[in-house]
Structure 1
Amino acid sequence: MSTEGTVSFEGEPRTGRHRMLALDAARGLAVIGMIAINTGPRGDDSPLELLYRVPYGRASLLFVLLGGIGLSLMTRRSRLQRAPLPWAGLLWAGLLWRCALLMLGGLALQSLDHGVSVILQIYALLILFSLPLLRASGRSLLVVSGLSAVAGPPLWILVQAQTDGGFDRDPVSATDQIGEILTGIVITGPYPLIVWAAPFVFGLWLGRQKLSEATISTRLLIWGAAAAVGARLLSPVLVAMFGEPTSHLDWQRLFSAVAHSQMPLWLISGTGSAVFVLGLCLKIHTWSHPLASPLVYLGQLALTAYIGHLLILALIVRPGPDTLAQGVLATASTVAALMIFAWLWRQRFSRGPFEVLLRTPTLRRTTR
């Protein structure tokens, strides 16, 4: 879901339009990656399935990184013009509305039989967590992001150790108690805020950069690739030196780069991959071409597409797929259906059906 998929500002130059289309395209790629991983299957280690699972642990990080960028762009005017802070103005109410819908919607969607850990709940709390940071300096944002990446994983292990591994990382749903919901989203769930704040806050920082400049996109490509490859290669070296972890409570887990391990090397590598994809999308200057519009529109209707794929999984796909061929077919069919819907919808409407719900009239007046 786009925190700000197609926002535009009066008088924004053409380079600004290209930036937004590139962000939409990157968000569309993140949606496709999540659809592939959520559809499955998983479990086979054949070369083809390993290739199919490349987005695992990367697409969701790209999605969250783009969410931070979107929030940064959406609140840009308030920050640059030194307007009242969000909690002193109408923007605060709009963001609270957005968070409430994402939270309630995510909890409700988690109850469906799709077998997916819904990401909307952590998305909502990440926005709330970031509100005090909207006026923070760029250096402060990098410090917070770094602290989350470095201190979040040890804290995650420490909590597990103190509870004897008592939490099972299951996603929370509407049937859980409020305390369980908050604990699950912040620490014990599949997307713990103490760890996932890192890519989101880093996205806040990226949103302040001149992403339309060629030098910036080049740096994103270089540094993103270096982080993605470097952290991944460092992991087996450290494991060889210090040994394999023997349990979820073992501090040697900190050397793991396994996807969704919540460990620093995976976080750095996966976020590096996300930054690389973002830089690549910014380098491409043909997103306004009609042939690219299905991907761009899919990114602009990211929330609708995300909800749509959960419904398709729950009502049509599950309990399958059982083979890689079935998974590829189901993924391709789902993506094609959602792209067609997004293209048809955007011929008449500027906002997706669920995106409209996030954009209250109050929020629109504040951000233009």
Structure 2
Amino acid sequence: MDDVTVLADRATGVHDTPLAPVPQKTVRLTGIDVARGLAVLGMYAVHVGPDPAAGGYASFFRVFEGHSAALFAVLAGVSISLMSGGRNPKTGRARTSVMLRLGTRAPLLVALGLWLTNLDTGYLVILAYYGVCFLFAIPWLRFGAKVLASAAVVAAALFPFISFLIRAQIEPRGLTFLPPDLSLEDFGSSAAFLRGSVILLITGTFPALNLMTYIFAGMALGRLDLGSARVCRRLFFGGVAVAALGYLVSWIATDLLGGMNAIYRSLGDEAAHYGMTPEQLFSLNQTWIHGTPPTTTLAWELLPTGASYTPFDFVISIGIAAAVIGGCQLVAARFTRAVRPLADLGGRVLSAYVLHFVAISLLWHEGEEGVYSMAHFLEFSAVAILAAMAWRKWIGRGPLEWALHHLSNWPKFLLPAPVPARRG
């Protein structure tokens, strides 16, 4: 999902780009919102689209599993960079104002995420984890692309193993044991608050410790000249190459060097409990490795599965996100009017995210049959796009974007008043 468009200022040119002619750089940055719009549609594909396990055309929907959430997270990092100055990081009181705004939005997103979880839709909600990541991002606002890219590389390489070692001690899990999710009860007492904090940071479905890998990568991308066609072409082709390399090396490690055999051996007792072979158990449950791979063997960290938060998942998902961002920037610069509907949706991504959970809670009960279908995917997508287009034309900023913007905009009063230029 962060999948939070409201992070970027209007001054960046990312949001609410008018249809009338505007400076070229502003038009080209419309691609960031187009990428967000695609991420929203990918989320709808996962939540209400056809089940890939059904086979046939539904199999193509497997590409959205895990990677849409990663794209949201990378785009949230891009927004943080744009908010804090883009290619030229803000300094002094201007940066302090951004720090305070992020610090204000963080608990608001945590609270909103907990409320959505409390709707009991049966879906995983990432907003609370994003809120924690925004706090973690504050000390990194001063840095440029190279430092942030290095942080992303280190995080992708080390954080999964740090998480593995910690979880193996405090909350070991097998394949069919799902990680805990947050609830309002996790913050009702000091002991519950401690448990909720551990879930947010390490053991939850989108642990902030690992989620920061995507935030770092997005912040690094946001420090680049995203209005440059040359930069965007490099992002597109480089991202495709990185993702392909990630899949290749993971395949070598799992299929040629014995990683999958180690995983199957670790599943022996668990598979026998369910009357299955290890291969059958893995095939049925591999998409449920949300953020916290099993702790039965380190070989789990060799998988490329989306949302598994393994090193290979990070490399592949960041490569895909970079390619999508670069490609959307190139397409939006050339076909601005054609992609306007997607940009309108992406410009109201927080509202699209929250309201689709509300719609699901009103339309269906948890576990109800018939939720996943092509018809529901098309219906959700069409309603969201049409509503976003109408809202932009007649009102402007999305409803939740407007609320979050105004609730966290108080630090602007800390900025010094502009000094008028002297004549002569």
**TM-score over 0.5 (shorter chain):** yes
**1:53 aligns to what?**
62
The match for 1:335 is 381
Q: 1:137 to 1:8 in 2, by over 3 A?
A: closer
Partner in structure 2 of residue 194 of structure 1: 209
Q: 1:45 to 1:264 in 2, by over 3 A?
A: farther
Q: 1:103 to 1:43 in 2, by over 3 A?
A: same
Which residue is equivalent to 2:71? 62
Q: 1:135 is matched with which residue: 142, 154, 157?
A: 142
Helix, strand or coil: the match of 1:117? coil
C-alpha deviation, 1:352, in angstroms = 0.6
- State the partner residue of 1:280: 327
2:335 & 2:405 partners in 1: Cα distance?
Answer: 25
Mark the CA change 1:80 to 1:111 in structure 2 (over 3 Å): closer, same or farther: closer
Q: Equivalent residues in 2 for 1:200-219 (5 A)? A: 200-219=215-234
Counterpart of 1:130 in structure 2: which amino acid?
A: A
Contact 2:167 2:202 survives alignment (8 Å)? no
Q: Distance in 2 between matches of 1:46 and 1:276?
A: 27
1:8 and 2:15 aligned = no
One-letter amino acid of the counterpart of residue 165, structure 1: P
**Aligned partners of 2:250 and 2:303 also within 8 Å:** yes
CA-CA distance at 1:94 after TM superposition: 2.1
Contact kept, 8 Å, 1:321 with 1:330, in 2: the verdict is no
Q: Deviation of residue 41 (structure 1)?
A: 5.0
The aligned residue for residue 25 of structure 1 is 34
Q: Does 1:173 align with 2:183?
A: yes
TM-superposition CA deviations, 1:266-285 (whole Å, max 9, x none): 11111111111111101112
2: CA distance between counterparts of 1:253 and 1:47? 29
In 1, Cα distance between equivalents of 2:368 and 2:334: 35
- For 2:355, which of 282, 302, 308 is the aligned residue? 308
Is contact 1:231-1:257 (8 Å) kept? yes
Residue equivalent to 1:255: 302
- 1:86-120: CA deviations, max 9, x gaps? 4xx43333222211211100011111122211111
Larger radius of gyration: 2
TM-score of the pair, normalised by structure 1: 0.90
The whole-number CA distance in structure 2 between the counterparts of 1:94 and 1:50 is 42
Where does residue 123 of structure 1 map in the other structure? Answer: 130
For 1:164 and 1:73, the matched residues in 2 are separated by 38
Letter of the 2:336 partner, please give it. S
Distance between the aligned counterparts of 1:117 and 1:84, measured in 2?
37
Matched with 2:258 is 242
Change (3 A) 1:160 1:41: farther
Q: Which runs of 5+ in 2 are unaligned?
A: 187-191, 268-293, 419-424
Residue 403 of structure 2: aligned partner: 357
State the identity as a percent.
26
Aligned-residue offset at 1:28: 0.5
* Residue 265 in structure 1 maps to residue 312 in structure 2: yes
1:365 Cα deviation after fit:
6.2
Aligned to 1:231: 246
Match of 2:277 in 1: none
Q: Where does residue 147 of structure 1 map in the other structure?
A: 154
RMSD: 2.5
- The 3 A distance-change label for structure 1 pair 207 and 332 is same
Task: Quickly say closer, same or farther: Cα 1:6–1:226, change in 2 above 3 A.
Answer: same
- Which has the larger displacement, 343-352 or 70-79? 70-79
CA apart distance, 1:172: 0.6
Q: 1:273 to 1:355 in 2, by over 3 A?
A: same
By how many angstroms is 1:349 displaced? Answer: 2.0
Deviation at 1:6, TM superposition (A): 6.1
Shift of 1:230: 1.4
Report the Cα offset of residue 311 of structure 1: 1.0
**How far did 1:261 drift?**
1.6
**After alignment, is 193-202 or 24-33 more displaced?**
193-202
Q: Distance in 1 between matches of 2:353 and 2:254?
A: 36
Secondary structure of 1:126 counterpart: helix
Q: Give the Cα–Cα distance (whole angstroms) in 2 for the partners of residues 45 and 235 of structure 1.
A: 26
Judging changes above 3 Å, is the alpha-carbon distance between structure 1 residues 9 and 72 closer, same or farther for their aligned structure 2 residues? closer
Instruction: Describe the SS at the equivalent of 1:146.
Output: helix
- CA change 1:53–1:163 in 2 (3 A) is same
Per-residue deviation, residues 50-96 of structure 1 (Å, max 9, x unmatched):
2012111111111111111111011107964533364xx43333222
Match of 1:296 in 2: 343
Deviation at 1:286, TM superposition (A): 4.2
The aligned residue for residue 82 of structure 1 is 91
Query: How big is the shift at 1:44?
Result: 1.3
| 3-state DSSP of counterpart to 2:64 | coil
TM-score, normalised with respect to structure 2: 0.79
Is residue 101–residue 411 contact of structure 2 (8 Å, CA) maintained in 1? yes
| Aligned length, in residue pairs | 363
Mean alpha-carbon deviation: is it higher for 39-48 or for 352-361? 39-48
Aligned-pair distance for 1:9? 4.9
